[in-house]
Structure 1
Amino acid sequence: MDEQRWTDPAWLATAYDWVDEQLGDLGLTRTGAVEQPHVARWSTVLRVPTDAGAVFFKANQELLRHEAAVVGLLAARVPDRVPPLLAVDAERGWMLMADAGETLRVVSAREESLERWYDALGAVARIQLAVEDDVDALLAMGVPDHRLAGVPAGYARLMDEIDAEPRFRTAQGYVEELCAELASYGIPDSIQHDDLHDAQVFVQDGADGGRQLVMDWGDACVSQPFCVLSVALEGVIAWGLDDVEDSVDTAPFRDAYLAPWAARLPGVDLAAAVMPAVRLGWAIRAVNGHLPGDVDQTVTRLRMFLDGRA
Structure 2
Amino acid sequence: MTAELARRGIAVSGPPREIRRWSLSAVLRIPTGSGPLWYKEVPPLFAHEGRVTGWVSQVAPGSVPEVVGHGPGWQLTTEAPRPRRSSGGSPLDAIVPVQVASAGRAGELLAMGCPDRRPAGLPGAVAALSARADLLAVDERTALRRVVPVLERISRRLDGLDIPATLVHGDVSTSNAWRTDRGWVYIDWTDACVSHPFVELAQPLLDARSKARRRRIEASFARMWERHGPEKHVAVAMAAAPVIGAAYQAETYRRIIDAVGMVDGHPELLREWVRRLCEAAPGWI
TM-score, structure 2 as length reference: 0.85
Q: State yes or no: 1:158 paired with 2:140.
A: no
Percent of paired sites with the same residue = 25
Hey, what does 2:117 align to over in structure 1? 146
Hey, what does 2:63 align to over in structure 1? 81
Separation in structure 2 between the aligned mates of residue 34 and residue 23 of structure 1, nearest angstrom: 17
Separation in structure 2 between the aligned mates of residue 58 and residue 22 of structure 1, nearest angstrom: 18
Separation in structure 1 between the aligned mates of residue 55 and residue 141 of structure 2, nearest angstrom: 40
Separation in structure 1 between the aligned mates of residue 37 and residue 107 of structure 2, nearest angstrom: 31
Separation in structure 1 between the aligned mates of residue 192 and residue 131 of structure 2, nearest angstrom: 23
Question: Does the 8 Å contact 1:19/1:57 carry over to 2?
Answer: no
What amino acid does structure 1 have at the position aligned with 2:18? Answer: Q
Q: State yes or no: 1:58 paired with 2:40.
A: yes
The alpha carbon displacement at 1:201 in A equals 0.3
Hey, what does 2:226 align to over in structure 1? 262
Residues 140 and 289 (structure 1 numbering): CA distance in 2 closer, same or farther, change over 3 Å?
farther
Separation in structure 2 between the aligned mates of residue 202 and residue 226 of structure 1, nearest angstrom: 20
Separation in structure 1 between the aligned mates of residue 229 and residue 186 of structure 2, nearest angstrom: 23
Separation in structure 2 between the aligned mates of residue 145 and residue 122 of structure 1, nearest angstrom: 24
Hey, what does 1:30 align to over in structure 2? 12
Question: Does the 8 Å contact 2:120/2:152 carry over to 1?
Answer: no
Matches within 5 A, 1:192-207: 192-204=168-180, 206=181
The alpha carbon displacement at 1:19 in A equals 4.8
What amino acid does structure 1 have at the position aligned with 2:77? Answer: M
The alpha carbon displacement at 1:93 in A equals 2.7
Larger RCO (CA within 8 A; separation ≥ 6): 2
Question: Does the 8 Å contact 1:30/1:50 carry over to 2?
Answer: yes
Question: Does the 8 Å contact 1:159/1:168 carry over to 2?
Answer: yes
Query: SS of 1:133's equivalent?
Result: coil
Q: State yes or no: 1:116 paired with 2:89.
A: yes
Separation in structure 2 between the aligned mates of residue 184 and residue 77 of structure 1, nearest angstrom: 27
Query: SS of 1:165's equivalent?
Result: helix
Q: State yes or no: 1:228 paired with 2:208.
A: no
The alpha carbon displacement at 1:81 in A equals 1.6
The alpha carbon displacement at 1:30 in A equals 1.7
Deviations 1:99-146 (A, max 9, x none): 11346xxx6xx64x7x231xx423111001101122112112221211
Query: SS of 2:131's equivalent?
Result: helix
The alpha carbon displacement at 1:285 in A equals 1.0
Hey, what does 2:283 align to over in structure 1? none
Separation in structure 2 between the aligned mates of residue 232 and residue 253 of structure 1, nearest angstrom: 8
Question: Does the 8 Å contact 1:230/1:277 carry over to 2?
Answer: yes
Separation in structure 1 between the aligned mates of residue 273 and residue 217 of structure 2, nearest angstrom: 22
Q: How many residues align?
A: 267
Separation in structure 2 between the aligned mates of residue 247 and residue 265 of structure 1, nearest angstrom: 26
Separation in structure 2 between the aligned mates of residue 88 and residue 42 of structure 1, nearest angstrom: 17
Hey, what does 1:287 align to over in structure 2? 251
What amino acid does structure 2 have at the position aligned with 1:257? Answer: F
Question: Does the 8 Å contact 1:100/1:202 carry over to 2?
Answer: no
| Alignment gaps of 5+ in structure 1 | 1-14, 240-245
The alpha carbon displacement at 1:29 in A equals 2.5
The alpha carbon displacement at 1:176 in A equals 1.8
Hey, what does 1:4 align to over in structure 2? none
Residues 258 and 247 (structure 1 numbering): CA distance in 2 closer, same or farther, change over 3 Å?
closer
Question: Does the 8 Å contact 1:45/1:59 carry over to 2?
Answer: yes
Separation in structure 1 between the aligned mates of residue 220 and residue 3 of structure 2, nearest angstrom: 41
Question: Does the 8 Å contact 2:253/2:267 carry over to 1?
Answer: no
Separation in structure 1 between the aligned mates of residue 100 and residue 146 of structure 2, nearest angstrom: 35
The alpha carbon displacement at 1:247 in A equals 4.8
Hey, what does 2:106 align to over in structure 1? 135
Q: State yes or no: 1:170 paired with 2:155.
A: no
The one of 94, 97, 119 equivalent to 2:77 is 97
Residues 248 and 23 (structure 1 numbering): CA distance in 2 closer, same or farther, change over 3 Å?
farther
Q: Which range is displaced more, 154-163 or 212-221?
A: 154-163
Query: SS of 1:97's equivalent?
Result: strand
